[in-house]
Amino acid sequence: MEALKLKVSKESMRLYAVTDRTWLGNKSFIEQVEDSTKGGVTFVQIREKMIPFDEYVTLGKEIKEVTDKYNVPLVINDDVEVAIACGADGVHVGQQDMEASDVRIKIGKDMILGVSVQTVKQALLAEEKGADYLGVGAVFSTSTKLDADAVSYETLKAICYAVSIPVVAIGGITKETIVKLKGSGIDGVAVVSAIFAQEDIYAASRELRNLSDEMVKG
């Protein structure tokens, strides 16, 4: 059963890009993000671990200009203060970060809150505590988060069935593995290297968007 009014549309979860500057090539980080949104990315999360606050806020503001141009939501990973300071649309937190209910109090009712979960229990609790969408994973092994535990297809499907808010799968998703998620009930996929490690980010995003559309509709 659909919620009466979802703050985050299920369509905006179709291709969720998590940034990683590890693979910066000839183009700037801003150009990479713009190429991805042009190619079909529907949601962007900035994930930076080792960056000073002021630099992070500046980066967030620069990326927000790009995502606003393409009407794509922007969230900051983990850092609530940066998300608020740079004017991001929201924040995404994991199970080891601040409690979802505490984050909701800090960001207010209008900002987007995403929460990473691995079980039905975590999913239901996150929804109850104010999450607008869920990230579930790792659905496949991934080189970008070596400590991530695997989530089975059955658990992924059970989570989608249990909640009314949008669900995106993450972890080791590529153009080859995405088809394995068909029928799970997810609203889209979150990827890192499948976009940002590619030579042609626009083309990679476009292909993944088409594959995700097919997977969800299938």
Q: Does the annotation mark 145 as catalytic? A: yes
Q: Does the annotation mark 7 as catalytic? A: no
Strand pairing class (90-93; 74-77)? parallel
What are the Cα distances from residue 177, in Å, to 14, 102, 120, 165, 173? 15, 35, 23, 24, 6
Among the residues of the chain, which ranges form H helices?
29-39, 53-69, 80-86, 100-107, 120-128, 153-162, 193-196, 201-217
pLDDT of the residue at 117: 97
Q: Does the annotation mark 116 as catalytic? A: yes
Active-site option among 14, 36, 104, 116:
116
Active-site option among 21, 106, 145, 175:
145
Q: Which domains does the chain have, with CATH numbers?
A: 10-217 (3.20.20.70)
Checking if the pLDDT of 1 tops 50, the result is no
Q: Give 3-59 pLDDT, tens digit per residue.
A: 346 889 999 999 999 998 887 778 899 999 999 999 999 999 999 988 999 999 999
Checking if the pLDDT of 148 tops 60, the result is no
Q: Give 174-187 pLDDT, tens digit per residue.
A: 999 999 999 999 99
